[in-house]
């Protein structure tokens, strides 16, 4: 008998390298995203409001997207690819508004009244909403494990809600509600964005989506605040710079680049780094220590999402 060996072709190696880069992009994006709530809380402690901070973040971030978008368009012309249809651009704009304006604004509002740790755990449940919306609007199957994971994760959130409400009842219902809406809108964004990313590439998609959201944020600020409100302190400006580059530009490209290279379920699995990072950063930087009940709720949320995403990835690997 002779042993048979599987020959690894250059195509196989390229695909494996692409997946490895995808995992790396997903991990980097998750860790950078985990710092966003911490930076926002530090800015709120300086007296700035959600609309001003979100506008500052987008004003600082948009020039980067404009430059990268212009380079991406030049590359398309150099490669003689067909121009992007107006209908496709409109869809990207609308999806960008949903994911980077509506969802972001709701998230910023919620952080005015709830902790960074609780906010991150609520947002962390968005993969379950992806499954439910996928079943409702895209004909995808809902496996029983999704419903069980939903129950476990939201049972953990309920424990934390009761604990936080007892300690600080003012605004807790509003904060939880708007962050939950942020998770729901971000889940819809994930479903709508993947097909568009595959059509034009993650870099150009991200630029169009973020520039569209940035314009909407600036208009919102101009309608609700005097321009003098943008004259912030040096400390708030520094936090805004970090939010713009470290917690917006880099992770947005990392996340969409990961979506282009690995399945959404794998991306969500690696995203489990995000709430863990937020928890420890909040304890170190903000002094937000969790009680035993809050730790139990945290474990339930992470366990529910972890079990669902890992088992779902295994099921997808077995599918023909």
Q: What is the per-residue pLDDT across 36-63, written as a single tens digit (0 to 9) for each? A: 999 999 999 999 999 999 999 999 999 9
Average pLDDT over residues 128-148: 76
Q: Answer whether residue 4 is part of any domain.
A: no
Q: Answer whether residue 1 is part of any domain.
A: no
| Cα separation, 244 vs 43, whole angstroms | 13
Q: Answer whether residue 2 is part of any domain.
A: no
Q: Which domain holds residue 209?
A: 25-318
Q: Answer whether residue 10 is part of any domain.
A: no
User: Who has greater pLDDT, 177 or 130?
Assistant: 177
User: Who has greater pLDDT, 320 or 251?
Assistant: 251
pLDDT band with cut points at 50, 70 and 90 for residue 320? very low
Residue 61 · residue 273 · CB < 8 Å: no
Q: Answer whether residue 19 is part of any domain.
A: no
The 10s digit of each residue's pLDDT in 304-317 is 877 776 666 555 55
Residue 153 · residue 128 · CB < 8 Å: yes
Q: Answer whether residue 12 is part of any domain.
A: no
Please state, for a pLDDT cut of 90, what percent of the chain lies above it.
33
**What tokens appear for 215 in the block?**
């314009």
Q: Answer whether residue 306 is part of any domain.
A: yes
**Residue owning tokens 């208009």:** 219
pLDDT band with cut points at 50, 70 and 90 for residue 136? confident
The 10s digit of each residue's pLDDT in 187-220 is 899 888 888 988 888 788 989 999 999 999 999 9
The 10s digit of each residue's pLDDT in 213-245 is 999 999 999 999 999 999 999 999 999 999 999
Q: Answer whether residue 5 is part of any domain.
A: no
Closest to 248 in 3D by CA, of 75, 40, 47: 40
The pLDDT value recorded for residue 275 is: 82
Count: domains in the chain: 1
pLDDT band with cut points at 50, 70 and 90 for residue 167? low
């Amino acid at each position: 008998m002779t042993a048979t060996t599987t020959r690894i072709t250059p195509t196989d190696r390229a695909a494996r390298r692409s997946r490895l880069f995808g995992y790396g992009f997903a991990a980097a994006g998750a860790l950078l995203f985990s710092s966003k709530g911490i930076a926002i809380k530090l800015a709120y402690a300086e007296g700035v409001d959600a609309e001003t901070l979100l506008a500052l973040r987008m004003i600082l971030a948009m020039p980067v997207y404009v430059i990268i978008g212009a380079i991406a368009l030049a590359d398309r012309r150099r490669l003689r690819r067909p121009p992007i249809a107006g209908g496709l651009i409109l869809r990207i704009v609308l999806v960008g508004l949903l994911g980077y304006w509506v969802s972001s604004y709701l998230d910023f509002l919620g952080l005015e009244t709830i902790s960074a740790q609780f906010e991150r755990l609520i947002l962390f449940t968005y993969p379950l909403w992806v499954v439910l919306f996928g079943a409702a609007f895209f004909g995808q199957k809902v496996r029983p494990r999704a419903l069980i994971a939903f129950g476990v994760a939201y049972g953990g959130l309920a424990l934390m809600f009761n604990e936080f409400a007892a300690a600080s009842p003012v605004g807790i219902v509003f904060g939880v509600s708007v962050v939950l809406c942020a998770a729901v809108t971000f889940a819809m964004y994930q479903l709508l964005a993947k097909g568009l990313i595959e059509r034009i590439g993650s870099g150009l998609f991200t630029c169009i989506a973020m520039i569209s959201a940035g314009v909407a944020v600036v208009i919102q600020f101009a309608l609700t605040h005097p321009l003098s409100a943008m004259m912030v302190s040096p400390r708030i400006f520094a936090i805004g710079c970090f939010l713009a580059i470290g917690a917006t530009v880099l992770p947005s490209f990392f996340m969409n680049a990961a979506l282009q290279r690995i399945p959404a379920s794998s991306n969500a699995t690696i995203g489990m780094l995000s709430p863990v990072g937020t928890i420890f950063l909040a304890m170190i930087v903000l002094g937000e220590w969790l009680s035993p009940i809050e730790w139990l709720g945290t474990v339930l949320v992470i366990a529910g999402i972890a079990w669902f995403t890992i088992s779902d990835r295994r099921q997808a690997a077995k599918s023909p």
